[in-house]
């Protein structure tokens, strides 16, 4: 069964505590948290202090997606908060191996995210060490964009890479434009975790939407 990770980016920021509780009660598996620095992507969201204040209000595992230029600067802060997955972008650092080891040394799971134009092959020599490959199915920076169909092939390639290296911890997550129309395509391709922001937070019945996305 695939897992659903609603993206907090589409929540009502004035009522974050209620929104997170509502998502948990609606059956979400993880809380996807988009950290943007206005540099790696042309948008700003929230930082560790805001996320820390939410930790005591939910038992959902935190799935942190860092769209920042210097991801290594934030490892300790998110480890201290209590983060399940710390996912950085392959395009943001030439030192993926070092950063993955550091993330793991803090007891977090390490993920690498790929922009739509970055090939899965870039992860060939780090896949054995990864807990997650996050395939971006939109250009990062904003919620509510349209799904880029090419992501379906990349999900299959990421699954094959984990299989080749016999990495049974490795999960493939897909992020961007996931809705009732595109969810069957990414489930079929083998995605383990579906991120959905606008589809879940914009649904009249969020629990029903989460169930439907799971298929
Ligand atoms: O990382 C992201 C954007 O950079 C978000 O997680 C993603 O866009 C989710 O929003 P939606 O489901 O509305 O596309
Ligand atoms: Fe994201």
Convert the pLDDT of each residue in 94-146 to its tens digit: 999 999 999 999 999 999 999 999 999 999 999 999 999 999 999 999 999 99
Q: What pLDDT, on the 0 to 100 scale, is given for residue 206?
A: 98
Give the active site residues. 34, 175
Probe residue for ligand 1, chosen from 34, 148, 203, 206 as the CB with the greatest number of ligand atoms within 8 Å: 34
In sequence order, the 6+-apart residues with CB closer than 8 A to the CB of 149 are 185
Query: Measured from the CB, is residue 113 less than 6 Å from ligand 1?
Result: no
Q: Which atom of ligand 1 is nearest to the CA of 198?
A: 13
| Tokens, residue 21 | 């509780």
**Structural domain total, the chain:** 1
Q: Which of 193, 136, 135, 123 is nearest to 165 (CA)?
A: 123
Residue pair 114/123 in contact (Cβ under 8 Å)? The answer is: yes
Indicate if ligand 1 lies below 6 Å from the C-beta of 197.
yes
7 is in an annotated binding site: yes
Rounded distance between C-alpha atoms, residue 102 and residue 17, angstroms: 30
Q: Are 19 and 201 in contact (CB under 8 A)?
A: yes
Q: Give the residue ranges of the chain where pLDDT is below 50.
A: none
Q: What is the pTM of this model?
A: 0.98
Instruction: Tell me, in angstroms, the distance from the centre of ligand 1 to residue 196's CA.
Output: 7
pLDDT recorded at residue 38: 98
Q: How far apart are the CA of 45 and the centre of ligand 1, in A? A: 12
- Ligand 1 contact, 139 CB (< 6 A): no
142 labeled binding residue = yes
Burial of 15 (0-12, 13-18, 19+ CB in 10 A): exposed
Domain span including residue 165: 3-214
**Residue 212: what pLDDT?**
98
For the Cβ of 137 lying below 6 angstroms from any atom of ligand 1, the answer is no
Residue 141 among known ligand-binding residues: yes
For residue 196, the CA-to-ligand 2 centroid distance in Å is: 9
Q: What is the ipTM of this complex?
A: 0.98
Decide: 174 in ligand 1 pocket, CB within 6 A. Answer: no
pLDDT value of residue 5: 99
Contact 213/183 with Cβ under 8 angstroms?
Answer: yes
pLDDT of 85 reads 99
What pLDDT is stored for residue 40 in this prediction? 98
Q: What is the CA(203)–ligand 2 centre distance, in A?
A: 18
Of the candidates 88, 193, 67, 86, the residue with the CA atom closest to the CA atom of residue 142:
67
CATH no. for residue 32? 3.20.20.70
- φ and ψ at 140, to 5 degrees? -65, 150
Q: With CA atoms as reference, report the closest residue to 151 among 204, 103, 195.
A: 195
pLDDT of residue 168: 97
């Amino acid at each position: 069964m695939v897992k659903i990770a609603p993206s907090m980016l589409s929540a009502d920021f004035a009522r974050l505590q209620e929104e997170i509780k509502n998502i948990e009660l609606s059956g979400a598996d993880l809380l996807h948290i988009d950290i943007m620095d206005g540099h790696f992507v042309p948008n700003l969201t929230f930082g560790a202090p805001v996320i820390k204040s939410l930790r005591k209000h939910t038992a959902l595992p935190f799935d942190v997606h860092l769209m920042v230029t210097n991801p290594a600067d934030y490892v300790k802060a998110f480890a201290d908060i209590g983060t399940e997955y710390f996912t950085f972008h392959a395009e943001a650092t030439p030192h993926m191996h070092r950063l993955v080891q550091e993330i793991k040394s803090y007891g977090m799971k390490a993920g690498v995210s790929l922009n739509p134009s970055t090939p899965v092959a870039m992860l060939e020599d780090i896949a054995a060490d990864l807990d997650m490959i996050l395939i971006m199915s939109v250009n990062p920076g904003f919620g509510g964009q349209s799904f880029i169909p090419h992501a379906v092939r990349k999900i299959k390639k990421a699954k094959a890479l984990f299989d080749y290296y016999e990495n049974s911890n490795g999960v493939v997550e897909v992020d961007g434009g996931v809705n009732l129309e595109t969810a069957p395509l990414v489930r079929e391709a083998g995605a383990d975790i579906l991120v959905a922001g606008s589809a879940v937070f914009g649904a009249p019945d969020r629990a029903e939407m989460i169930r439907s996305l799971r298929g």
